[in-house]
Amino acid sequence: MKILHCADLHLDSKMTANLDKEKAKERKAEILTTFVRMVEYAKEHKIEAVLIAGDLFDTATVSATAGKAVYQAIVNHPDITFYYLKGNHDAKGFMDNPEEIPENLKMFGRDWKSYETGTENTIVITGVELDKENIRSVYHALSLDVTKFNIVMLHGQENTYQAKDKAECVALNELRNKGIDYLALGHV
């Protein structure tokens, strides 16, 4: 099974910190086009799963242009399953309505969620969106079947130990000996 892992695309970023308004607009369009091209690359190379490990977007509200482009890229490629774990920059309202979510888009939440895939469901993709409320219990709640190939998705700053009140920190020591075969991180 071929998998493409990406993160921190920051679609819809204002980009005005270092660019004038016109250049920022141009760069925003380039990044959105790059996302669509990435999905086309996945199709051409028969990639079955695209892992988006957070910060697909960069703003609290997604523009109609970016939202529609992402939605169409997903809907137009039903042979690819998209696994989308929201990051600290992602818009809270994007794809929150269950009726809007395409069948090939799998999402995560504040509790661990797992999806089985691959031949005879031998690959398990598990993820959780970290926040200040779940950061203390999330690592102890992770339970994986070591007979499967386990991919774990998280979005946060890599850290050796669990940091106090830092929801965006991924405590690598807390993930040791959990049966993780591939750690798909974002924000690193």
Name the residue among 18, 13, 54 with its Cα closest to residue 32.
13
Beta pairing partners, 154: 185
**What's residue 51's pLDDT?**
98
Residue 15 banded pLDDT, cuts 50, 70, 90: confident
Of the chain, the percentage scoring pLDDT greater than 70 comes to: 91
What's the CA dihedral at 67, 38, 49, 144 to 10 degrees?
A: -80
pTM of the model: 0.91
Tens digits of residue pLDDT in 93-139: 677 677 788 999 999 999 999 999 988 889 999 999 998 888 889 99
φ, ψ for residue 126, nearest 5 deg: -120, 140
